[in-house]
Structure 1
Amino acid sequence: MVELWSFAFVFIAGLITALATGLGAVPFFFVAEMSDRWNVTLWGIASGIMLSASVFGLVLEALGTYIQVSLGGVSVSPIPRRQLLLLGVGLLSGVVLVYVAHDLIEAADVDPREYAEADFKKLVLILGVLTIHSFPEGVAVGVSFADLGLSGGTQIFGFVVPLLAIFMTIAISIHNVPEGVAISIPLRSMGVANWKLVWWSVFSSLPQPIGAVLAFYFVRVAREFLPAGFGFAAGAMIYLVLTEFIPEALAVGKGLPGDGRRELLGGVAAGVLAMIPLAFV
Structure 2
Amino acid sequence: MALLENLVLVFVAGLITALATGLGALPFFIIDDISDRWNVVLWGVASGIMVSASVFGLIFEGAAAGTLPAVGIGMLAGVVLVVVAHEVIEDYEPDPGAYAEADFKKLLLILGILTVHSFPEGVAVGVSFAELNLPGLQDGISFLGFGVPVVAVFITVAIAIHNVPEGVAISIPLRAMNVSEPKMVWWAVFSSLPQPIGAVIAFAFVRYAREFLPYGYGFAAGAMIFLVATEFIPEALELGEHVDGGGRLELVSGVALGFAVMVPLAFI
TM-score tier, shorter chain, comes to: 0.7 to 0.9
Q: CA deviation at 1:14?
A: 1.2
C-alpha contact (below 8 Å) 1:40/1:253 kept by paired residues: yes
1:182 corresponds in structure 2 to: 173
Contact 1:219/1:225 (<8 A) preserved: no
Q: TM-score under structure 1 normalisation?
A: 0.73
Letter of the 1:211 partner, please give it: P
Give how far 1:97 is off. 1.6
Are residue 210 (structure 1) and residue 193 (structure 2) matched? yes
* Aligned residues of 1:108 and 1:129 also touching (Cα < 8 A): no
Q: Which of 230, 235, 247 is residue 248 of structure 1 equivalent to?
A: 235
Aligned mate of 1:20, from 20, 23, 29: 23
C-alpha separation between the residues in 2 aligned to 1:247 and 1:217? 37
Alpha-carbon distance change, 186 to 275 in structure 1, aligned in 2, over 3 angstroms = closer
Is it true that 1:7 corresponds to 2:4 in the alignment? Answer: no
Q: Deviations over 1:44-97 (max 9, x none)?
A: 1111111111111111112227xxxxxxxxxxxxxxxx7334212211121122
- Residue 257 of structure 1 deviates from its aligned partner by 1.5
Amino acid across the alignment from 1:210: L
For 1:89, the aligned partner's letter is I
Structure 1 runs not aligned, ≥5 long: 66-81, 116-124, 189-196
Q: Give the structure 2 partner of residue 279 of structure 1.
A: 266
| Residues 155/22 of structure 1: CA separation in 2 closer, same or farther (3 Å cut) | farther
Aligned pair in 2 of structure 1 residues 138, 238: CA closer, same or farther (>3 Å)? Answer: same
- Aligned partner (choices 143, 148, 151) of residue 128 of structure 2: 148
Cα distance between partner residues in 2 of 1:251 and 1:156: 53
Classify the secondary structure of the residue corresponding to 1:64: helix
Q: Distance in 2 between matches of 1:92 and 1:83?
A: 15
Q: Matches of 2:242 and 2:90 in 1, distance apart?
A: 25
Aligned residues, how many? Answer: 243
Cα distance in 2, alignment partners of residues 155 and 265 from structure 1: 44
Give distance in 2, aligned partners of 1:165 and 1:57. 14
Distance 1:146 1:88, change over 3 A: farther
Q: How high is the TM-score relative to the length of structure 2? A: 0.76
Gaps of 5+ in 2: 100-104, 132-136
Summarize deviations over 1:175-224 as a string: whole Å, max 9, x none: 33243242233336xxxxxxxx0233234334423321343345442221
**Counterpart amino acid of residue 128 in structure 2:** L
Relative distance call for 1:248 and 1:176 in structure 2 (3 A) is farther
Deviations 1:144-179 (A, max 9, x none): 424433589997978543645544433332133243
**Could you tell me how far apart the structure 2 residues matched to 1:261 and 1:108 are?**
33
Where does 1:48-59 land on structure 2 (aligned, <5 Å)? 48-59=48-59
What residue is the counterpart of 1:136 in the other structure?
Answer: 116
SS in 2 for 1:255: coil
Q: Deviations over 1:91-121 (max 9, x none)?
A: 1121122222222333334344369xxxxxx
Q: How does 1:107-126 map to 2 (within 5 A)?
A: 107-113=91-97
Helix, strand or coil: the match of 2:34? coil
Task: Decide which moves more: 105-114 or 247-256.
Answer: 105-114
